Amino acid sequence: MSAPSLIVPAGGRFMRRLSSSEASKENMSLGPTVVVPPKHLMAPSSANEVAASIEVARHELEDSAAPSTPSTPPETLVTDKYAYAFDIDGVLIRGGKPIPEAIEAMKVLNGANQYGIKVPYIFVTNGGGKTEQERCVQLSQQLQIEVSPGQFICGHTPMREMAERYNTVLVVGGEGEKCRQVAEGYGFKDVVTPGDIIKDNQDTTPFRKLTEEEYRHSRARNFGETEIEAIFVFADSRDWASDQQIILDLLMSKNGRLGTRSETFEEGPPVFFSHNDVVWSASHDLTRIGMGALRVSLEAMFKAVTGKDLKTTAFGKPQIGTFQFATRLLQQWRKDTHSIDSPPDTVYFVGDTPESDIRGTNEFDNCAENNWYSILVRTGVFQEGTKPRFTPRATVDNVLEAVKHGMEREYKKALKASFIDVDGVQGSAIEE
């Protein structure tokens, strides 16, 4: 693949890709123009290699400017130096609709940029409630790109690693039977839902009756002989009162057997939440309460009823495990789709929630082998005029600005590595 070239005109602030139709001997010889081949953006190189590749690029440009050269569009290279990871709600999507700049941001990453490169990216959301495949089909339509499950992690994705550990589990949250299907797809062997429990004994939830459809889909079983070994909250509860009643019954039971009461309240099954976001960014102008709020509520309720503290576990961001999972996913994705076998020097994580996206990225940056650079956007949970509890490396208006910020930063780094001095990173970002 031939390398497209980058040019920094006099003044050095703006860069553009030279196609055969754009490049001419005139504009190449005007002023202190420096040609930087994108090899600098692709791989570590020594000063000798830089000088040599600049020379090669000069010849290529001269050749491409010759009248006899046919006009062929330049090929787009994929950078192996850096990558992006995107949060979804409040960054790319809000209330089921794409944030306007998100579509353009994806185009920029896919080559519609002045550097003539593509940048690999993945998605890391705390949301869930559907299979990864289903979520990717939806995201593909919303963002007008192809999104593969190979580049997607949702809050409950890491829960698949628990499928071997427990036999019978209660799965809570989401629409209808969807989360049961997700759990079974992960390999959970015996999945119970709150609907199954209410179907077995309607008195479980005095104020909730199953709809006809819910009753039909819920599974009949003998709960007198069932021990529920763990509780997984996969997605947001659609009915807090009845879901909490059922979880509380199990937590106070002897070994997860419904209808029993432990004397110590220490014999119930463990509870896992797919994430801990107390609030999130939906279609309402103000943030909405999320799964983290249910967790707080459940812990408080357990304390009020039993007098004991309840310890629960949350997956998702900001857990380091989620970022380790993301690292493995990104590594596999870059290898499978771009034949890149080394980790990126920098991963730009773009998020809207300081407590999960920024905190997780910053903490992972402290222990990861490569750099994780947090970028906070103003389109979601974080609101201008407030001080984020966790400080991002940069704050920008929206995801498009975030993408531009990272790309310009990388270009500036590449220029520095080539001993070429340029002005500061352009754009409206505030870099900490």
Binding site partner of 244, from ligand G3P, Mg ion, none, Cβ cut-off 5-8 A by kind: none
- Structure tokens of 415? 């220029």
Cβ 395 vs Cβ 429: under 8 Å: yes
Interacting residues with ligand G3P between 387 and 416 (CB under 6 A) = none
Verify binding: residue 280, ligand G3P, rule CB under 6 A: yes
- CB 339, min distance to ligand G3P, A: 29
Verify binding: residue 355, ligand G3P, rule CB under 6 A: no
Q: Which of 53, 79, 113, 126 is the binder for ligand G3P (CB under 6 A)?
A: 126
Binding site partner of 243, from ligand G3P, Mg ion, none, Cβ cut-off 5-8 A by kind: none
Q: Which of 5, 125, 151, 205 is the binder for ligand G3P (CB under 6 A)?
A: 125
Give the residue with the Cβ less far from ligand G3P, 135 or 412.
Answer: 135
Rounded (10°) CA dihedral 199, 200, 204, 205: 0
**7-15, 90-98, 151-159, 182-190 -> range binding Mg ion (CB under 5 A):** 90-98
Q: Which of 37, 50, 61, 87 is the binder for ligand G3P (CB under 6 A)?
A: 87
| Residue whose beta carbon is closest to Mg ion | 90
Verify binding: residue 194, Mg ion, rule CB under 5 A: no
**80-88, 157-165, 190-198, 324-332 -> range binding Mg ion (CB under 5 A):** 80-88
Give me the amino acid identity at 425.
Answer: V
Give the residue with the Cβ less far from Mg ion, 88 or 258.
Answer: 88
- How many residues make contact with ligand G3P (CB under 6 A)? 13
Residues 6+ apart with CB under 8 A from 66: none
Verify binding: residue 236, Mg ion, rule CB under 5 A: no
Binding site partner of 401, from ligand G3P, Mg ion, none, Cβ cut-off 5-8 A by kind: none
Interacting residues with Mg ion between 313 and 352 (CB under 5 A) = 352
- CB 70, min distance to ligand G3P, A: 46
Give the residue with the Cβ less far from ligand G3P, 80 or 87.
Answer: 87
Verify binding: residue 355, Mg ion, rule CB under 5 A: no
Interacting residues with ligand G3P between 235 and 264 (CB under 6 A) = 236
| Binding footprint of Mg ion on the chain (CB under 5 A) | 87, 89-90, 352-353
| Binding footprint of ligand G3P on the chain (CB under 6 A) | 87-90, 125-127, 236, 275, 277, 280, 290, 353
